[in-house]
Amino acid sequence: AAVSRGGRQTSLSPWQFLRRQQVLQLYRKILRAIREVPAEHDRRYLKDWAREEFKRNKDATEEDAIRMMITQGNMQLQELQRTLKLAKS
**Residue range 65-74: mean pLDDT, rounded:** 95
Instruction: With respect to residue 72, please indicate whether it lies within any of the assigned structural domains.
Output: yes
Give the chain's domain count: 1
Taking 90 as the threshold, does the pLDDT of residue 4 lie above it? Answer: no
What's this model's pTM, rounded to 2 decimal places? 0.83
The terminus-to-terminus CA distance of the chain in angstroms comes to 44
Segments forming the whole domain that contains residue 30: 14-88
Specify the DSSP element, H or E, that contains 3.
Answer: strand 2-5
pLDDT for 73 equals: 96
Is-contact 9 3, C-beta < 8 A?
yes
Side chain identity, residue 23: V
Give the pLDDT confidence of 12-51 residue by residue, as tens digits.
899 889 999 999 999 999 999 999 999 999 999 999 999 9
Least confident among 4-8, 44-48, 75-79, 85-89: 4-8
- C-alpha pair distances (Å), 37 with each of 22, 24, 25, 55, 86: 23, 21, 19, 22, 12
